[in-house]
Structure 1
Amino acid sequence: MEFNDVIHGHRSIRQYEDREVSQDVLDEILNAGIRASSSGNMQSYSIVVTRDKELRKKLYTPHMDQSMVLDAPVLLTFCADFNRMRRWLELNDAPVHFDNFMSFMIGAIDATLASQNCALAAENAGLGICYMGSTLANCDQIGELLNLPPNVVPVVGYSLGYPAESPAVRDRLPQQGLVHYEQYEDYTDERILDIYAERNEKGWQRYMDVPQLKEMTERLGLQNLAQIYTIAKYTKESHLGYSQTVLDYLDKQNFMRNDESN
C-alpha cells in the first residue's frame, strides 16, 4: 500500500476473519516496532504476543469484555520495561535505578512509539487493529495474567488479525484545531465551537445509527456528544478509579521511588 493510504485509511477493526497470522508476517510487524525511536536507544519496553485462546479468555474480563479479545487471533501488549535494563546495569556494576515515575514515563513513551510502528506495519500488510484503553486502565489485572515482573507495566495494547469488516473511516479534528505554531495559542469560545462542529454532528449521528447506543443515549437523557463523553463513556468517577489503579500498580511494580538510594 502507499504510505499515505495506510495513514489516512486507518480504522479500528473489531471483527476478524477466522484466519491465523503467520509468524513471518508477525515478525515483519514486530521488527517494524523495534525500529521505532527510543529514549537514549534504551528500548525500555517489551512486547507480549498472546495467541493462546485460553489466555485470551482470561484477558477478556480485564479488557472490559471486548469481543475482539476472543475473536482476533493475536493480542499485542506493549509494556514499559526497565526490568531488563536494570538487570543489565547490575551485571555491569553500574548504579541500578530507573525505579521512579520519570522512568515509567520514558518506558511508556517508548512502548507507545513501538506500538504505532507495529500498527502501521500491520495495516500495510492488510491486517487490522483495535487499540484497547483497558490495557492501562486495568494494568494490574493484565500484568498479573501476563506474569509481568517488577519494573514492567502494560501501557498500550490492541487486537490484531485480518479484518472481517470495513467500517467507515472516522472523522478527525481539523489541523487548525490541533496545531500551534511557535507557541500555544489558547482558544476562544467561537474557535472551540468551530473546531468541534463536524465532530458534534458526525459523532452524534454515529450514536443515533446504532440501536444500542441510541437506546443508552435516550435512557440517560443525553443531549449532545459532550454529554455522551462525560456522562456515559468517560465519567469522572471512572477516571479517578482507573487513576488510582495505575498509581497503585506503579508503586507495586517499583516505579514510584522518590529517594536517592539504589
Structure 2
Amino acid sequence: MDSIKNRRTIRKYTEQDIPADLLDSLLEESFRASTMGNMQLYSVVVTRDPEMKAKLAPAHFNQPMVTSAPVVLTFCADYNRFSLWCRQRKAEPGYDNFMSFINAASDTLLVTQNFCTLAEASGLGICYLGTTIYDPARIIQILNLPKLVMPVATITVGYPDEHPDQPDRLPLRAIVHEETYKDYTPAMIDDIYAYKEALPENKHFVEINHTETLAQIFTDIRYTKSDNESMSANLIEVIKKQGF
C-alpha cells in the first residue's frame, strides 16, 4: 500500500470535520483485526467536543494536536464488557489479573494499528500519542472508565494541513533475524545506526542539546531512567486499581 510506504505523522490538521459515517466505517473495518479468542477486548472513546479535548490535553503534555484535531480517539483495553456478559450468562469470569490485561492490551493495539492504516489510506492524517500510559489515571477519570478498562493508546485524526518529511527507519538487516535471534556486534551497531546518526537534523539535535552522541539525547534527555521508573510504578499502580 502506497499509504503505508509513504506514511508520516501528522500533527497539524485543517478545520474540516470528519463525517461520522466515515469514522464509523473506519472503526468498524478496524474491528476485523485479530483478537484473543474472538472476544474483542477493547473499546474506543471518541472525543469531538472542544471542552473534552481541553480536559484531555494536560494528560498528553498539552501537545497542540489534542485540541486542534477534529477527533481524538482513546483506545482502551476492555475486559469489563466481556465480564458483564459472562455474569449475565451464569459464567464467573476470572480476568482480574495481569495476563488478562496483556491479552486485552494486545487486542487493543492490533485494532489501533488497523484503524491508523485504514484512516491514512482514506486520506486522513494521524498522530499516535505515546503519552496515554504516562498519566492514565487522569484519562480514566476524564473518560469515566470503569474497572477492567484501561487506556492504552490515543490517536489524533484529521485532514492533513502539513506534509512533513518522512522520518527515517532502520534497514531491514537491523530488525529481521533468520531462524534465531543473532545478537549484534559493535561493528553491526555502527553499521545499522550510521545513516540515522549522519542525518543533518540529528546532528543538529546533538549540537543544540550539547551532547556527545545522538544516543545520549534518548538516555539523558528524552527517555531517562528516572522518568521511566517513576512512570512504570505509576502505571503498575493504575493497572491494579483498574482491577487487573
Question: Where on the TM-score scale, by shorter chain, does this alignment land: which range?
Answer: over 0.9
Please list every run of 5 or more consecutive structure 2 residues that lacks an aligned counterpart in the other structure.
none
1:106 is the counterpart of 2:95: no
Asked whether the 8 Å contact 2:197–2:203 carries over to 1, the reply is no
1:61 is the counterpart of 2:50: no
Match of 1:243 in 2: 232
Mark the CA change 1:207 to 1:125 in structure 2 (over 3 Å): closer, same or farther.
farther
Asked whether the 8 Å contact 2:150–2:242 carries over to 1, the reply is yes
Match of 1:259 in 2: none
1:167 is the counterpart of 2:156: no
Match of 2:93 in 1: 96
Match of 1:153 in 2: 150
Match of 2:116 in 1: 119
1:36 is the counterpart of 2:25: no
Cα shift at 1:34? 0.7
Alignment of 1:1-262 (within 5 A): 3=1, 5-202=2-199, 205-206=201-202, 208=204, 218=208, 220-255=209-244
Q: Distance in 1 between matches of 2:165 and 2:36?
A: 35
Asked whether the 8 Å contact 1:50–1:74 carries over to 2, the reply is yes
Q: Distance in 1 between matches of 2:212 and 2:11?
A: 27
The two structures have a TM-score, normalised by structure 2, of 0.97
Q: Identity of paired residues, percent?
A: 43
Q: Distance in 2 between matches of 1:193 and 1:109?
A: 33
Q: Distance in 2 between matches of 1:79 and 1:65?
A: 20
Asked whether the 8 Å contact 1:28–1:121 carries over to 2, the reply is no
The two structures have a TM-score, normalised by structure 1, of 0.90
CA RMSD of aligned residues (A): 1.3
Runs of 4+ in 1 over 6 A off after TM superposition: none
